Amino acid sequence: MQREGVQMVVVDGPAGEALGVVTIEDILEEIVGDIRGELEEEEPAVRLLENGEAIVRGNVRVADVNRVLGTKFRVVTGYPGSRQITLAIDRNEVHGACGIGWTGLPTLYPHWFERKLVNIVVQASVKEHPDLKRMGVPSALDFARSAEDRQAMELVFSQGLFGRPYVLPPDVPPERVAALRKAFAAALEDKALTEEADKMKLDLDLVTGEELQATVAKLFALPAATVNKAKQSLIYKQ
């Protein structure tokens, strides 16, 4: 979809017959849950059309799609981390994945992109990556239908901003916190460090302590309904 610049694809059956249409929004709803607008009427999970095609809601259970349309989608679970998932993709054990970090993929799996074996469908992140943006990969946040949906998505995606942060107790003097923040920022601007990172094709992208502190405050101020919506979106329904 991303490579061809299209917003929807037709799903074919085993005999080549068209079973239905899948949009980018459908894929997003599989990642974050229902993102319907507040005034949008509820639609059937799977709606069969007169011409034999079908419209499938993005948050419908995989089991229901298989039962109604005869598809053979199977969600494979049990992989302990992204490293194992990417290896499974490389070995053709699975045919796709959600939530894998972009950083390092072009370095670890350059043949994926040289031979065009994979397509990046959407960026599930609060902050767009410049490489993916140049490739024309859209941000999931652009598909939010309401302010509440966008906030719920930001809550889920914001974990990617934190990485492996260094934290201090709340009673540390402000001047000491400021000194440590300044030192970390200066270290990441060190010429020798950046040159070594370039050689190793590592992506250095500083998120300052001030930015993270502001993000935490923003997330803790979200309404309970928004937090609950984010929680529900993370529950896998077979």
> Where are the domains positioned within the chain?
160-226
Structure-token pair, residue 67: 């039962």
**pLDDT at residue 189, rounded to an integer:** 87
Judged by DSSP in three states, 32 sits in helix
Report the predicted TM-score, pTM, of the whole model to 2 decimal places: 0.60
The CA distance from 153 to 133, in Å, is 19
Question: What is the amino acid identity at position 193?
Answer: L
Where residue 51 falls among pLDDT bands split at 50, 70, 90? Answer: confident
Q: What is the pLDDT of residues 38-48, one digit of tens each?
A: 445 555 666 77
Give pLDDT tens digits for 142-196: 888 788 888 888 888 888 887 778 889 989 999 999 999 999 889 888 999 989 9
Amino acid at 197: A
Helix 224-233, helix 147-157: angle, nearest 10: 60
Top pLDDT among 120 and 72 is at: 120
pLDDT in tens, 188-214: 889 999 899 888 877 787 888 899 899
What is the pLDDT, as a whole number, of residue 176?
95
pLDDT band at 5 (very low <50, low <70, confident <90, very high): very low
In the prediction, which pLDDT does 79 show?
84
DSSP code at position 42: P
pLDDT > 60? residue 61:
yes
Residue 75's pLDDT band (cuts 50, 70, 90): confident
Scan for tokens 């993000």, then name that residue.
215
Average of pLDDT values for 203-226?
88
Q: Tokens 């499938």 belong to which residue?
A: 56
pLDDT tens-place string over residues 103-121: 778 888 888 888 888 888 8
Greater confidence, 115 or 64?
115
Position 238 pLDDT exceeds 60: no
Supply the pLDDT for residue 31.
58
Neighbours of 196 (CB within 10 A): 12
